[in-house]
Amino acid sequence: MTRTLRDDLGHEVVLPTTPVCRVVSLVPSLTEAVAATTPDALVGATDWCTHPRDLDVTRVRGTKNPDRAAIAALGPDLVVANKEENRELDVQRMRADGIPVWVTDIETVPQALASMRRLLVDACGWREPEWLAEADGLWSGDVPEAHVTVVVPIWRDPWMVVGHPTFTADLLARIGCEVTTAGEPGRYPHVDLERLDAAGADLVLLPDEPYVFTADGGPEAFSATPTRLVSGRLITWYGPSLVEARGSIER
């Protein structure tokens, strides 16, 4: 027996009527979410999936080049992916091979919470995890007026920054931080370093992913704007990290 639900992009996904028991995740955020909810169900993940730290599952290469043969060999009830992080071509090819794929589409914190609930509870048939309810409570409410302006680089040489609309920009807005791109439009625009440093931001947040900014690699590039190293997981991942992120980022 099967049932059919639509994922975040409206694609019909055929699922078992019983709880999903074999999942392959192609997104680090989703891997952590599945592992924190029903760990025994997670059978495969990408090489970039670093949480939980003791994750011991079959690795299926990267988010942009998944090993479709390895995924098929795992016999998943469901593969979970994300519109931004995974290629549509790979999703189409897996579906053509008869593998059910659920694609998430997340640009805000409320979207993340709703998407996680639909995936874990509705699609997978699991009980709502405590971390999800806690994250919902922590991040519910109106977006406050911004009191700090921040630049958030995600790459250098060339420099790329977080723009709008993105999950990271929305998350930071919910703690009073307005993301600026020095006037450059787009979700992740390229911006000259000189323009970023002269944008008048209060702070540059330097995450450790996707580009690994460190104390010795990043802060020295900005002479006019203070910098702060932050966990990329806490400002770009959705899932259990949202519980930790609220208090950590506000400090």
Tell me what percent of the residues of the chain surpass a pLDDT of 90: 96
Does some domain include residue 143? Answer: no
- Kindly indicate the confidence band of residue 247, based on its pLDDT and cuts at 50, 70 and 90: confident
- What CA–CA distance (Å, rounded) separates 229 from 29? 20
Are 187 and 221 part of one and the same domain? Answer: yes
Of the three residues 119, 138, 157, the one that is the final residue of a domain is 138
Are 134 and 18 part of one and the same domain? Answer: yes
- Summarize pLDDT for 45-90 with one digit per residue, the tens: 999 999 999 999 999 999 999 999 999 999 999 999 999 999 999 9
- Summarize pLDDT for 194-210 with one digit per residue, the tens: 999 999 999 999 999 99
Are 164 and 116 part of one and the same domain? Answer: no
Are 13 and 35 part of one and the same domain? Answer: yes
Are 41 and 6 part of one and the same domain? Answer: yes
Are 31 and 127 part of one and the same domain? Answer: yes
Task: Using DSSP, state whether 33 is helix, strand or coil.
Answer: helix
Q: Is the pLDDT of residue 107 over 70?
A: yes
Of the three residues 118, 138, 158, the one that is the final residue of a domain is 138
Strands 153-155 and 160-161: antiparallel
- Kindly indicate the confidence band of residue 251, based on its pLDDT and cuts at 50, 70 and 90: low
Are 169 and 201 part of one and the same domain? Answer: yes
Are 42 and 153 part of one and the same domain? Answer: no
**What does the mean pLDDT of the chain come to?**
96
Are 80 and 164 part of one and the same domain? Answer: no
Are 130 and 168 part of one and the same domain? Answer: no
CATH number of the CATH domain containing 203: 3.40.50.1980
CA distance to 114, 147, 210, per residue, from 105 (Å): 10, 29, 19
Neighbours of 180 (CB within 10 A): 23
* Count of helices and strands (H, E) across the chain: 9, 13
Neighbours of 221 (CB within 10 A): 18
Q: What would the two tokens of residue 102 be?
A: 């659920």
Token pair 């998350």 is found at 171
Are 95 and 177 part of one and the same domain? Answer: no
Are 14 and 125 part of one and the same domain? Answer: yes
Of the three residues 111, 138, 165, the one that is the final residue of a domain is 138
Tally of domains in the chain: 2
Give the range of the structural domain holding residue 117, as residue numbers without chain letter. 2-138
